């Protein structure tokens, strides 16, 4: 009942807040997957895996973190929340360590759960220290070629621009390396002190971004059939992480006083149309 009520309330809020969301926009949807983080300890291995593939070589965008696996200091469930924590430390005894002086975690549903279309909601409180770069996002389940395979950034935030939340898509035609990426932003003044619902409604026609039921950006399928413009017709998985520094996250430096830095997540939920 709690989930059904939340869905009904969310539908009403989105319809009121954003004219482009019809009152019946989510009729026919039902909850198909969620993690409510009710069991203390490491994240549920039936729901989450760890992405550590670039630790030895260094992560993208000149980021500074080492992503640890099965390490409660960096990813754990406590008090009904998933905690992802970035720390100032050097884990140079680990075999894939690449010289990083920060640790963090990058949790993925890849290989476990993926979806084509749906309504995605992550309720989170994010860190805002200088040099932090928390993200809630999605990649193609079988991605081999970025950005051709597509990317959906449900929420990104950089500590040097406190409270400004970004929702973005990346494709071959529209991405930051070309200066053509498509995204929107919304200021959430207490994003670092309070929990908010970060949301995406993804259909064959459009990807809509929202916070707490209020839509703020939309990316539409132009109907051209060009995969470079719309690669969003195949399964995508979820990713939760805190990066440190990098071209964007560290554009104004990294403050050691920002660490340890936590992203706390109360739930992750996915609804899909059943008709």
The confidence score (pLDDT) of residue 143 equals 87
pLDDT tens for each residue of 242-275: 999 999 999 999 999 999 999 999 999 999 998 7
User: Do the Cβ atoms of 10 and 198 come closer than 8 Å?
Assistant: no
171, pLDDT greater than 50: yes
Give the domain CATH number at 259.
2.60.120.200
User: Is the residue at 148 inside a domain?
Assistant: yes
Rounded Cα distance between 172 and 67, Å, is: 27
Domain assignment of residue 27, yes or no: no
Mean pLDDT over each residue of the chain, to the nearest integer: 92
**Is there a domain that residue 199 lies in?**
yes
59: left (phi over 0), alpha (psi -120 to 50) or beta: beta
Average pLDDT of span 233-238:
98
Domain assignment present for 24: no
The domain in which residue 199 lies consists of 32-273
Residues annotated catalytic, as ranges: 151, 156
Could you tell me if residue 180 is inside a domain?
Answer: yes
pLDDT of residue 15: 42
State in Å, rounded, how far the first CA of the chain is from the last one: 21
pLDDT of 7: 54
pLDDT at 61: 95
The tens digit of pLDDT for each residue in 144-161 reads 899 999 999 999 999 999
Give percent of the chain above pLDDT 90. 85
Q: How many domains in the chain?
A: 1
Q: Residue 9: inside a domain, yes or no?
A: no
Tens digit of each residue's pLDDT (9 = 90 or more) over 1-47: 334 455 555 554 444 444 344 444 677 899 999 999 999 999 999 99
105-118 per-position pLDDT tens digit: 999 999 999 999 99
Q: What is the mean pLDDT of residues 47-65?
A: 97
- Within a domain: residue 2? no
CB-based contact 27:271 (threshold 8 Å): no
Establish if 8 belongs to a structural domain: no
């Amino acid at each position: 009942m709690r989930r059904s009520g939340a869905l009904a309330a969310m539908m009403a809020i989105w319809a009121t807040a954003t004219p482009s969301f019809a009152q019946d926009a989510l009729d026919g949807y039902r909850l198909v997957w969620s993690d409510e983080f009710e069991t203390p300890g490491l994240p549920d291995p039936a729901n989450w895996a760890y992405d550590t593939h670039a630790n030895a070589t260094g992560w993208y965008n000149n980021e500074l973190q080492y992503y640890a696996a099965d390490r409660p200091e960096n990813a754990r469930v406590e008090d009904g929340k998933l905690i992802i924590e970035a720390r100032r430390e050097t884990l140079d005894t680990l075999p894939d360590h690449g010289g990083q002086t920060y640790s963090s975690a990058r949790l993925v549903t890849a290989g476990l759960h993926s979806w084509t279309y749906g309504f995605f909601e992550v309720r989170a409180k994010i860190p805002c220290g200088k040099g932090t770069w928390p993200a809630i996002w999605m990649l193609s389940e079988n991605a081999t070629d970025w950005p051709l395979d597509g990317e959906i950034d449900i929420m990104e935030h950089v500590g040097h621009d406190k409270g400004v939340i970004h929702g973005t898509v990346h494709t071959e035609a529209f991405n930051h390396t070309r200066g053509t990426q498509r995204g929107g932003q919304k200021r959430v003044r207490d994003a670092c002190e309070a929990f908010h619902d970060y949301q995406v409604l993804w259909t064959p026609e459009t990807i809509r971004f929202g916070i707490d039921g209020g839509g703020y950006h939309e990316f539409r399928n132009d109907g051209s059939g060009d995969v470079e413009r719309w690669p969003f017709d195949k399964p995508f998985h979820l990713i939760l992480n805190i990066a440190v520094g990098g071209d964007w996250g560290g554009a104004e430096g990294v403050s050691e006083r920002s660490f340890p830095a936590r992203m706390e997540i109360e739930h992750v939920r996915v609804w899909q149309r059943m008709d």
